[in-house]
């Protein structure tokens, strides 16, 4: 589609970095949600009265009706495995020798996405109960990483 | 304003609020490596720069010579007819004396970006580059300039193979 | 074929601040929630949502439109994000307009959000990557360059002084003193203050530039039959226009924004406006830099080329002048959270035409107003004309 | 409002794993030139508005819309970008024509995925920066978790998902534009390496480069310019919650919402009866099954079984992804939906070469924006 001649010796690619460096605040709801994880080891939700939904992690607003949410509720640290996966790739796409297990644990009408650490001979399945394991208080910074991982709660 | 609005939301923070941890925050950075294919037109443009030559492309139909070169004429949507070597001299179309870096830190000696209309290209067709070898206060629109090239063995096929444009007497 | 009429029936906005604690989602929600309350609607009434936000690098989220969707009220609704760089804020209502004018939807939310402070260490960093990656970025250009280059060309072409241009900054920052959401309102600022502020990139001084900000704005758009049911003060979108010039910005004359003219002509045609200088009562042209307001007034055909500065000098563009320009305080005064700032201008026209602009209300019960934004590499114009 | 809206021209370039000889602009130009030639229009004279779909981080350029007009013939014309899938772009063009203000509009989408050196990092930047991204989990986990829940909820098997791969890669062998065709057995797929169990690497579409341009016209223009316009009978698009914590992990609500809107316009009550063939998202193999159910073409939990029975094969009663789908053509990033719309147009025109279906009158195209989104669109076409 070109009348112009291609130069086989021309540089074929130009390399560069797209610099994207950010600092995020946690927001109005995130501030309180993560402070309570950090300071008290408690997971909080917010309840929407008009939709009767419990948002976990706590949200400032109901995504369904856009009401402001100010009813804060401790939802405990135990929930049901909604789904999980054994992941064979690292964040950067490189292959893992051993998979890591990622879970979504239901709390209220939402829940928490995190890693699940399985003990020897343990197998996870949908519907099992799991509980959050927190880092020691001194190591918590106010982050989703203040929860170290989840572990299965065996009856 | 609308009678119903009594209070405008939005919580203002100072840099100190964040730095001191009064509110929580987190940093991140995207791994943003790219290798953009240069293609027919820009590949040749870079090859030309490596040879110490600025290439444009010409559309016979529109009687236009443009720079940097492209394979299609954006005005008539016909394929460009050919590459054309331009001169490395030109005229300052506009310029600035920039006293701050991109993140708004002061610098003493201003950077001197300019649009330089190149000889051999159609009127008002130029490229972005910098001016050098000149007292910034002496720069003026309409000034005649010429490219100062990197030594041949240091050129890599990049717009930075031209170090800057300097004023010339004619 | 007659076009469906589209009205603006509600508006909301957050404060424009330098650094917001709210996440981008929360800012979007605050503005959206306020817009719905202003016309007493709920999310059940809304049929589709349009979002505008400028580069993803600011919020620091890839596919930022998806990330912001819940805050904009998009849950299980048709939702799209439009994008024309700095022109986005005035483009989103155009996007909302075609959602309704097409007959597809009757009630649509239009939301614009920007959280520039999430780019770290400085929001300007996001602009380093707007230049051509191969032919320009290696020169490490910053955003100020292109404005300075354009301003210089404009001044030189028409022999305009920095003093005259500085009057725009003074007018807008003074106007913004009356805006409850404004970041940089200043009732006492003078031309000397602007001229004596530090030189960033000659001819641009610090007070020639609008401030980096966070904020969000939302509107509710309705089809004619719905608008008439919901309000006795609908503000009609009479004309829209947008236009994109070549990306090769060093291959054209920067002294005149022809893309703004083309966008304006499209909007005037649609609105049936033959004599814009007589028929437009209030103007909110895009003013991220003070010279831009002048540049845009010329592109909008509201001033002759090179003559806009005289309008400012003569006081015509003051809030009580013959053609008030940026009665809101503009980006220079209210702040410049890019997409949100553009939509703020449309919201301002809405409030002005309804007589709800409080201390900023222009006298004489204006009938028709125009909002315009600009963006990309000196390249895109977006125009909305609204009338009572 | 105008009456009907048609596609009167199609053009594409690619699709290939790499396109090192062309810049992204040249790739777009190639597709545009073909589309305009196909439609018999001159973009400078005839096309009144242009739409591109693109995301900044796929391009490595902030405010990428700057670089869209020149190679499409759109300079000094009303042009804008939609940060969405190609079918969002198509829906935008559809609305623009429906306003009555525009009679010919072009839509463009492209992928230069091969130029992105750090794709996992770019994709991960779409995760919530506070709630999820700090965990540093590869974004494919979302597909693995969704597939797991979908299999359980719908009684679908891994074998049935693998069958989608066998079918689509086989179909791709008949599509000269599809670089990832292969003749595989079920065993080949199932024995491949796991990616995010139960999801396997071979059930995941690889990226490809390419560009697609469609020319859309009002009924009046379409009838004047084209002897075989393909009518857009309906389009819809929808979002579910962007929050991973607020989603239904088993079902694709974004597909349901989009389909409802499109069906309503097209007057379709029973999609299985009305639709002759479909091109649906298969960025991950299970997505084809989950999507077919969400589209209401098959009942909940039926798509896997009918796939095994061959109903969605090329010679089945409702062929799905005859093009080869994303598994066969490659993941074209924001252009995925346009590749699907293009295939539907080619089939309805009778221009699909050796993969041409017989007696087809109504086709459906659907797309998803990929992990971590819950966003997608549907379009229905008729000849």
List, as one string, the DSSP characters of C28-49: HHHHHHHHHHHTT--GGG--EE
Predicted pLDDT of residue B7: 80
Task: State how far the Cα of A102 lies from the Cα of A104, in Å rounded to an integer.
Answer: 7
> Inter-chain contact D26–B38, Cβ cutoff 8 Å?
no
Contact predicate C141/C290, CB 8 Å? no
Across the 383 residues of chain D, what is the mean pLDDT of every consecutive 10-residue run?
86 97 98 98 98 98 98 98 98 98 98 98 98 98 98 98 98 98 98 98 98 98 97 98 95 97 98 98 98 98 98 98 98 98 98 97 98 98 97
Question: What's the mean pLDDT in C139-168?
Answer: 97
The two three-digit tokens of residue D135, written as one number:
């965990």
Under 8 Å CB-to-CB from D178, ≥6 apart: which residues? D15, D172, D323, D324, D328, D329, D330
- Per residue in C245-270, pLDDT (tens digit) is 999 999 999 999 999 999 999 999 99
> Inter-chain contact C122–B104, Cβ cutoff 8 Å?
yes
What single string gives the DSSP state of each residue in C210-266? PPB-EEEEEEEEEEHHHHHHH-S--EEEEEEEEEE--S-GGGS-TTS-HHHHHHHHH
Answer yes or no: is pLDDT of B2 > 80: no
Question: What's the mean pLDDT in A34-38?
Answer: 98
Residue D145: exposure state from Cβ atoms within 10 A (0-12, 13-18, ≥19): buried
> Inter-chain contact D244–A1, Cβ cutoff 8 Å?
no
Task: State how far the Cα of A57 lies from the Cα of C18, in Å rounded to an integer.
Answer: 27
Predicted pLDDT of residue D1: 41
The phi-psi region of residue A121 (left if phi > 0; otherwise alpha if psi is between -120 and 50; otherwise beta) is left
Give the distance, in angstroms, between the CA of residue B140 and the centroid of all CA atoms in the same chain.
Answer: 18
Query: Which residues between 41 and 70 in chain A have a beta carbon less than 8 angstroms from any beta carbon of chain D?
Result: 55-57, 63
> Inter-chain contact B35–D69, Cβ cutoff 8 Å?
no
Which range is least confidently modeled, B97-106, C316-325, C351-360, D240-249?
A: B97-106
The two three-digit tokens of residue C139, written as one number:
């020169």
Other CB atoms within a 10 A radius of the CB of residue D24 amount to: 24
Which residues is C304 bridged to in the sheet? none
Tell me if chain D has a CB within 8 Å of the CB of A14: no
Give A34's contacts in chain D (Cβ within 8 Å).
Answer: 130
Residue A155: pLDDT band (50, 70, 90) is low
The two three-digit tokens of residue C79, written as one number:
């939702």
Predicted pLDDT of residue B102: 81
Task: State how far the Cα of D61 lies from the Cα of D84, in Å rounded to an integer.
Answer: 16
Helix, strand, coil percentages (3-state) for chain D, rounded to 5, are: 40, 20, 35
Answer yes or no: is pLDDT of C301 > 80: yes
Of A21, A29, A66, the CB nearest to C120: A21
First to last CA, chain A: 69
By three-state DSSP, how is residue D81 classified? Answer: strand
Question: What's the mean pLDDT in A101-115?
Answer: 98
- Per residue in A116-139, pLDDT (tens digit) is 999 999 999 999 999 999 999 999
- Per residue in D283-323, pLDDT (tens digit) is 999 999 999 999 999 999 999 999 999 999 999 999 999 99
Task: State how far the Cα of C313 lies from the Cα of C250, in Å rounded to an integer.
Answer: 31
Task: State how far the Cα of C14 lies from the Cα of A135, in Å rounded to an integer.
Answer: 37
Residue C176: exposure state from Cβ atoms within 10 A (0-12, 13-18, ≥19): buried
Task: State how far the Cα of D54 lies from the Cα of D75, in Å rounded to an integer.
Answer: 18
Under 8 Å CB-to-CB from D208, ≥6 apart: which residues? D14, D15, D16, D17, D111, D113, D179, D180, D329, D330, D331, D332
* Portion of chain C with pLDDT greater than 90, in percent: 97
Instruction: Calculate ∠ Cα B148-B154-B158, nearest 5°.
Output: 70
Contact predicate D54/C47, CB 8 Å? no
Of D19, D43, D116, the CB nearest to B34: D116
Predicted pLDDT of residue B3: 54
> Inter-chain contact D57–C263, Cβ cutoff 8 Å?
no
Contact predicate D141/D292, CB 8 Å? no
Instruction: Calculate ∠ Cα B18-B22-B26, nearest 5°.
Output: 50
Question: A145 vs A136, A149, D123, CA distance in Å?
Answer: 11, 8, 21
Answer yes or no: is pLDDT of C1 > 50: no
Question: What's the mean pLDDT in C74-89?
Answer: 98
Task: State how far the Cα of B113 lies from the Cα of B160, in Å rounded to an integer.
Answer: 13
Tell me if chain C has a CB within 8 Å of the CB of A50: no
> Inter-chain contact C23–A25, Cβ cutoff 8 Å?
yes
Predicted pLDDT of residue C151: 98
Answer yes or no: is pLDDT of A151 > 50: yes
Give A23's contacts in chain B (Cβ within 8 Å).
Answer: 18, 25-27
CA-nearest of D63, D67, D111, D80 to C56 is D63
Q: Are strands C282-284 and C368-375 parallel, antiparallel or unpaired?
A: parallel
Give just the sign of the alpha carbon dihedral C42, C45, C49, C52: negative
> Inter-chain contact A10–B157, Cβ cutoff 8 Å?
yes
Of B18, B29, B38, the CB nearest to A21: B29
What single string gives the DSSP state of each residue in C345-378? HHHHHHHHHHT--GGGPPSS---EEEEEEEETTT
Q: How far is D283 from chain B (nearest CA, A)?
A: 23
- Per residue in A87-101, pLDDT (tens digit) is 999 999 999 999 999
ω before C121 within 30° of 0 (cis)? Answer: yes
What single string gives the DSSP state of each residue in D214-235? EEEEEHHHHHHH-SS-EEEEEE
Other CB atoms within a 10 A radius of the CB of residue C191 amount to: 16
Give the distance, in angstroms, between the CA of residue B54 and the centroid of all CA atoms in the same chain.
Answer: 15
Task: State how far the Cα of D106 lies from the Cα of D89, in Å rounded to an integer.
Answer: 9
Q: How far is C179 from chain D (nearest CA, A)?
A: 29
When scoring B1, B46, B68 by the number of chain C Cβ atoms within 10 A, the one with the most, hence best to mutate, is B1
Q: How far is A10 from chain B (nearest CA, A)?
A: 5
Predicted pLDDT of residue D212: 98
Predicted pLDDT of residue D2: 46
Question: What's the mean pLDDT in B99-108?
Answer: 89
Task: State how far the Cα of C79 lies from the Cα of C340, in Å rounded to an integer.
Answer: 18
Q: Are strands C235-244 and C6-13 parallel, antiparallel or unpaired?
A: antiparallel
Other CB atoms within a 10 A radius of the CB of residue B85 amount to: 12
- Per residue in D155-196, pLDDT (tens digit) is 999 999 999 999 999 999 999 999 999 999 999 999 999 999
Task: State how far the Cα of D96 lies from the Cα of D104, in Å rounded to an integer.
Answer: 9
Give the distance, in angstroms, between the CA of residue D187 and the centroid of all CA atoms in the same chain.
Answer: 28
Contact predicate B87/B119, CB 8 Å? yes
Strand order in the sheet with B144-149: B126-130, B113-118, B89-95, B144-149, B162-167
Question: C200 vs A27, A107, B129, C18, C142, CA distance in Å?
Answer: 33, 52, 19, 19, 11
Longest Cα pair distance anywhere in chain B, in angstroms? 71
By three-state DSSP, how is residue A61 classified? Answer: strand
First to last CA, chain D: 21
> Inter-chain contact B71–D73, Cβ cutoff 8 Å?
no
ipTM: 0.97
| Range list of β-strands (E), C53-149 | 79-83, 107-115
């Amino acid at each position: 589609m070109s009348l112009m001649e291609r130069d086989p010796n021309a540089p074929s690619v130009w390399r560069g970095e797209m610099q994207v460096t950010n600092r995020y605040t946690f927001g109005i709801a995130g501030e309180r949600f993560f402070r309570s994880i950090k300071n008290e080891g408690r997971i909080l939700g917010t309840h929407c009265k008009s939709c009767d939904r419990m948002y976990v992690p706590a949200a400032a607003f109901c995504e369904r009706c856009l009401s402001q949410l100010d009813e804060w509720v401790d939802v405990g640290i135990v929930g049901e495995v909604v789904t999980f996966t054994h992941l064979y790739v690292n964040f950067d796409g490189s292959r893992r020798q051993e998979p890591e297990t990622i879970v979504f644990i239901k709390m209220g009408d939402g829940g928490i996405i995190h890693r699940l650490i399985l003990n020897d001979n343990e197998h996870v399945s949908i519907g099992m109960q799991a509980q959050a394991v927190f880092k020691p208080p001194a190591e918590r910074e106010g982050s989703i990483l203040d929860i170290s991982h989840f572990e299965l709660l065996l009856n | 304003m609308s009678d119903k609005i009594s209070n405008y939301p939005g919580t203002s923070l100072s840099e100190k609020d964040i730095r001191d941890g009064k509110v929580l925050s987190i940093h991140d950075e995207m791994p943003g490596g790219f290798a953009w294919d240069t293609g027919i037109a820009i590949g040749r443009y870079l090859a030309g720069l490596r040879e110490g030559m600025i290439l444009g492309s010409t559309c016979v139909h529109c009687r236009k010579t443009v720079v940097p070169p492209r394979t299609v004429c954006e005005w008539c949507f016909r394929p460009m007819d050919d590459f054309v070597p331009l001169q490395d001299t030109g005229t300052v179309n506009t310029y600035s004396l920039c006293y701050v870096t991109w993140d708004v830190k002061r610098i003493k000696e201003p950077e001197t970006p300019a649009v330089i209309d190149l000889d051999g290209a159609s009127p008002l067709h130029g490229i972005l580059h910098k001016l050098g070898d000149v007292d910034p206060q002496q720069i003026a629109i309409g000034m005649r300039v010429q490219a100062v090239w990197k030594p041949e063995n240091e050129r890599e096929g990049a717009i930075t193979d031209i170090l800057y444009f300097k004023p010339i007497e004619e | 074929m007659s076009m469906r009429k589209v009205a603006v029936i509600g508006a909301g906005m957050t404060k424009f601040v330098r650094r917001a604690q709210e996440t981008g989602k929360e800012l979007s929600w605050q503005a959206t929630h306020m817009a719905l309350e202003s016309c007493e609607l709920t999310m059940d009434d809304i049929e589709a949502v349009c979002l505008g936000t400028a580069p993803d690098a600011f919020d620091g989220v890839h596919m930022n439109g998806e990330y912001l969707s819940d805050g904009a009220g998009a849950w299980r609704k048709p939702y799209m994000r439009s994008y024309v760089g700095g022109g986005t804020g005035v483009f989103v209502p155009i996007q909302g307009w075609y959602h309704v004018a097409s007959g597809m939807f009757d009630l649509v939310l239009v939301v614009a959000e920007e959280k520039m402070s999430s780019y770290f260490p400085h929001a300007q960093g996001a602009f380093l990557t707007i230049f051509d990656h191969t032919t320009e970025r290696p020169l490490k250009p910053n955003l100020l360059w292109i404005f300075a280059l354009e301003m210089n060309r404009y001044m030189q072409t028409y022999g305009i002084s920095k003093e005259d241009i500085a009057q725009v900054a003074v007018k807008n920052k003074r106007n913004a003193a009356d805006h409850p959401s404004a970041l940089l309102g200043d009732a006492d600022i003078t031309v000397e203050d602007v001229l004596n502020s530090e030189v960033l990139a000659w001819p641009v001084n610090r007070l020639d530039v609008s401030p980096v900000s966070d904020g969000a704005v939302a509107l509710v758009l309705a089809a004619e039959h719905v608008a008439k049911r919901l309000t006795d003060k609908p503000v009609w979108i009479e004309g829209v226009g947008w236009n994109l010039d070549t990306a090769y910005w060093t291959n054209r004359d920067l002294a005149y924004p022809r893309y703004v003219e083309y966008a304006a002509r499209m909007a005037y045609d649609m609105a049936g406006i033959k004599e814009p200088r007589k028929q437009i009562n209030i103007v909110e042209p895009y003013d991220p830099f003070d010279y831009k307001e002048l540049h845009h007034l010329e592109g909008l055909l509201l001033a002759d080329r090179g003559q806009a500065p005289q309008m400012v000098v003569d006081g015509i563009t003051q809030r009580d002048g013959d053609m008030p320009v940026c009665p809101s305080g503009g980006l220079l005064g209210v702040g410049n959270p890019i997409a949100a700032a553009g939509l703020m201008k449309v919201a301002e026209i809405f409030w002005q035409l309804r007589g709800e602009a409080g201390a900023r209300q222009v006298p004489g019960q204006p009938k028709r107003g125009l909002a315009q934004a600009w963006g990309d590499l000196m390249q895109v114009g977006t125009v909305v004309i609204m009338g009572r | 409002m105008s009456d009907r809206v048609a596609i009167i021209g199609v053009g594409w370039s690619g699709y290939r794993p790499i396109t090192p000889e062309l810049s992204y602009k040249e790739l777009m130009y190639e597709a545009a030139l073909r589309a305009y030639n196909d439609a018999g229009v001159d973009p400078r004279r005839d096309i009144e508005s242009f739409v591109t779909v693109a995301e900044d981080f796929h391009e490595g350029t902030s405010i990428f819309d700057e670089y869209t007009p020149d190679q499409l013939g759109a300079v000094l014309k009303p042009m804008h970008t939609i940060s969405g899938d190609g079918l969002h772009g198509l829906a935008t063009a559809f609305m623009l024509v429906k306003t009555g203000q525009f009679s010919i509009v072009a839509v463009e989408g492209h992928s230069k995925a091969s130029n992105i050196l750090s794709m996992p990092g770019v994709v991960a930047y779409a995760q919530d920066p506070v709630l999820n991204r700090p965990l540093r989990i590869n974004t494919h986990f979302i597909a693995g978790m969704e597939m797991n829940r979908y299999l359980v909820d719908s009684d679908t098997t891994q074998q049935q998902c693998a069958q989608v791969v066998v079918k689509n890669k086989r179909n791709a062998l008949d599509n000269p534009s599809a670089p990832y065709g292969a003749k595989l057995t079920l065993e080949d797929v199932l024995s491949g390496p796991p990616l995010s169990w139960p999801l396997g690497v071979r059930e995941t579409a690889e990226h490809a480069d390419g560009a697609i341009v469609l020319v859309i016209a009002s009924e009046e223009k379409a009838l004047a310019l084209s002897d075989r316009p393909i009518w857009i009978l309906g389009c819809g698009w929808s979002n579910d919650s962007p929050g991973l914590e607020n989603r239904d992990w088993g079902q694709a609500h974004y597909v349901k919402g989009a389909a409802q809107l499109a069906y309503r316009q097209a007057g379709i009550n029973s999609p299985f009866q009305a639709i002759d063939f479909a091109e649906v998202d298969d960025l991950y193999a299970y997505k084809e099954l989950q999507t077919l159910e969400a589209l209401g073409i098959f009942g909940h939990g039926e798509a896997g079984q009918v796939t095994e029975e061959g109903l969605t094969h090329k010679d089945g009663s409702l062929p799905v992804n005859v093009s080869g789908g994303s598994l066969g053509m490659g993941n074209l990033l924001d252009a995925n939906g346009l590749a699907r719309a293009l295939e539907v147009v080619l089939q309805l025109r009778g221009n699909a070469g050796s993969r041409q279906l017989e007696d087809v009158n109504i086709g459906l195209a659907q797309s998803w924006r990929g992990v971590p989104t819950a966003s997608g669109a549907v379009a229905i076409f008729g000849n």
